[in-house]
Amino acid sequence: MQACTPAIQGQAKTGKPSDRLIAHLDMDAFFASVELLRFPQLQGLAVVVGGRSKSIIQQMQALETRFGSHEAIDAQSMPRLAQYQGRGVITTASYAARAYGIGSGMGLMKAAERCPEAILLAADFERYREYSRRFKALIRAQGLAIEDRGIDEVYIDLSHCSHRDEAITVARSLQAAIFKDTGLSCSIGLAPNKLLAKLASELEKPMGLSQLHSDSVQAVLWPLPVSRLHGVGPRTAEKLKALGLDLIGQLAKSDPASLQARFGASHGRWLIEASWGIDERPMVLASEPISISRETTLERDMHPSHDRQALSERFTALCHQLAADLQAKQRLCRSVSVKIRNDQFKTSTRDVSFAEPTDDPARIRSWAGQCLKRFVFDRRIRLLGVKATRLSPRHLAATALADALRSNHQAATDPEQLQPVAASQHALWPELEPALP
């Protein structure tokens, strides 16, 4: 930052904000874009999505029957804003419609005054939720930590990228992957914190990729109206306007004491910090899975000796499914447990921890086999289960391993180090494990 208030210099010294790299990803004209996928004949036209108007839904159903399919409906026949009577509001507008000055939250009848020809579609929330799940799953599949901010936006922690170029490459590949899979475009902002990342993502829509550095706050942020700060709603913006503070730059240079007197100590302080691009809010990650498990109730109770072969096959299959689940969720585990329920519904578990995180089916089978050796098999078996715990995201594997080795968690490094507890009591099933690769 070229010029800093004393408070900000103090903050900057902590080094915290600049240590992070946060991306904000926001889908472009989300609901409208999903509708354009369904109705490609509307590409480039002014389209607005309203609520769940029965009359619009009925008109569209009738048109679909008349034209044979939704893609075949002639755009000229579709409902127009001009015909709308009621109190509904716009949920979103296509970019072509926004050129007429209409957008989210505006009454449909008011919007009709600005663009009577705009095509009016009813919202299909289930479809939007489905696309929302899809684009978020694609990001998670890259092993990236995300903070879910609602139907069309997420924060992504890219702090692990060694430099900005790497983060830009990740961001571009996310845009490409989402577009390839869903046909939808999104915009991404990269910055040292959530506030600036959110602002950056709005700078070059659609399909934008913008960066905001702490030292460009004055040049980029300050000329913008205060309402562009995420967290300054219309009421706060009005109050600031009444104080003569229309622009973020004016807010930054205003007197902190009088701002705090007007808005309260904490909100006043937040306003000043935000105007300087300071935001230390942590990422709130989606709750991490604690464990991933697979279990199966056998089609009949099996005998540990007579059904040894079948039990082993089922057990191996479960372990391989568990490994596939870990791989699909981009997780590694450092502990495996085995659950066995006998024909009297008595359930027992045994677990083992190890130093090197894994999602490898052979290793998981091998560790689970070690657990198996510590059961006493004195009855028929009704249910088999395997569970992976002490999970870590795959991209943090190196750190997890380093941590594990440092703290020497009493974890075994090799399954063969574990001695069977009750080997002499075995009634056969746990065959000897093959040595690990």
Question: Taking CB under 5 A as the rule, does residue 278 contact Mg ion?
Answer: no
- Work out whether 27 is an interface residue with Mg ion (CB under 5 A): yes
If one asks whether residue 31 binds ligand DCP (CB under 6 A), the answer comes out as: yes
Shortest distance in whole angstroms from residue 195 CB to Mg ion: 17
Cβ proximity to ligand DCP, 29 vs 195, nearer residue? 29
- CA atoms lying within 13 Å on the CB side of residue 260: 9
Q: Of 171 and 400, which has the nearer Cβ to ligand DCP?
A: 171
Nearest approach, Cβ of residue 201 and ligand DCP (Å): 8
Q: How far is CA 395 from the centre of its chain?
A: 15
68 Cβ contact partners less than 8 Å away, ≥ 6 residues apart: none
Binding to ligand DCP in span 193-212, by CB under 6 A = 205
Query: 205 or 262, CB closer to Mg ion?
Result: 205
Give one DSSP letter per residue of 410-437, joined into a string.
S-BSSGGGSPPSSGGG--S-SPPPPPP-
245 binds, among ligand DCP, Mg ion, none (CB under 5 to 8 A by kind): none
Write out the two tokens for 45: 């036209």
User: Which of 22, 23, 28, 397 contacts ligand DCP by CB under 6 A?
Assistant: 28
In sequence order, the β-bridge partners of residue 297 are 383
429 belongs to the binding site for ligand DCP (CB under 6 A): no
Pick one of ligand DCP, Mg ion, none as the site partner of residue 273 (Cβ within 5 to 8 A by kind). Answer: none
| Cα–Cα nearest to 168, from 282, 19, 23 | 23
What is the Cα–Cα distance from 412 to 391, expressed in whole angstroms? 16
Helix (H, G, I), strand (E, B) or coil at 190: strand
Q: Identify what 104 binds: Mg ion, ligand DCP, none; CB under 5 to 8 Å per kind.
A: ligand DCP
Question: Scanning residues 83 to 142, which ones bind ligand DCP (CB under 6 A)?
Answer: 91-92, 104-105
- Which region among 21-29, 140-148, 344-352, 384-392 touches ligand DCP (by CB under 6 A)? 21-29
Question: Binding residue for ligand DCP (CB under 6 A) from 35, 152, 157, 279?
Answer: 152
Q: Which is nearer to ligand DCP, 104 or 321 (CB)?
A: 104
User: Considering the rule CB under 5 A, would residue 359 count as an interface residue with Mg ion?
Assistant: no
244 binds ligand DCP (CB under 6 A): no
How many residues bind ligand DCP (CB under 6 A)? The answer is 13
Name the active-site residue from 153, 313, 416, 433.
Answer: 153
Ramachandran region of residue 345, left (φ > 0), alpha (ψ -120 to 50) or beta? left
Q: How far apart are CA 120 and CA 46, in angstroms?
A: 9
153 catalytic residue (yes or no): yes
| Residues forming a β-bridge with 385 | 295, 339
Q: Give φ, ψ of 119 to 5 degrees.
A: -80, 135
- CB distance 2 to 215 below 8 Å: yes
Question: Is residue 39 a contact point for ligand DCP (CB under 6 A)?
Answer: no
Between 134 and 300, whose beta carbon lies closer to ligand DCP? 134
Tell whether residue 29 is a contact of ligand DCP (CB under 6 A).
yes
Select 27 or 174, whichever has its Cβ closest to Mg ion: 27
Region 150-179 residues binding Mg ion, contact defined as CB under 5 A = 152
| 44 Ramachandran zone, left/alpha/beta (phi>0; psi -120 to 50) | left
Instruction: Give φ, ψ of 364 to 5 degrees.
Output: -65, -40
Closest listed residue to residue 250, CA positions, set 260, 258, 240: 240
- Which of 185, 250 has the CB closer to ligand DCP? 185
Smallest gap from Cβ 228 to ligand DCP, in A, equals 12
Q: For ligand DCP, which stretch binds (CB under 6 A), given 20-28, 129-137, 191-199, 417-425?
A: 20-28
Question: H/E/C letters for each residue in 18-87?
Answer: HHCCEEEEEECCHHHHHHHHHCHHHCCCCEEECCCCHHHHHHHHHHHHHHCCCCCCCHHHCCEHHHCCCC
Per-residue DSSP letter, 122: -
CB of 132 to ligand DCP, least distance (A): 9
- List the single partner that 270 binds among ligand DCP, Mg ion, none, CB under 5 to 8 Å by kind: none
Match 């990650």 to its residue by tokens. Answer: 285
* β-pair type (92-93, 47-49): antiparallel
DSSP state of 432: P
CA 58 to chain centre: 35
Min dist. Cβ of residue 186 to Mg ion (A): 8
Question: Which residues are known catalytic residues?
Answer: 153
Which residues of this protein are in contact with ligand DCP, per CB under 6 A? 26-31, 91-92, 104-105, 151-152, 205
Which residues of this protein are in contact with Mg ion, per CB under 5 A? 26-27, 30, 152
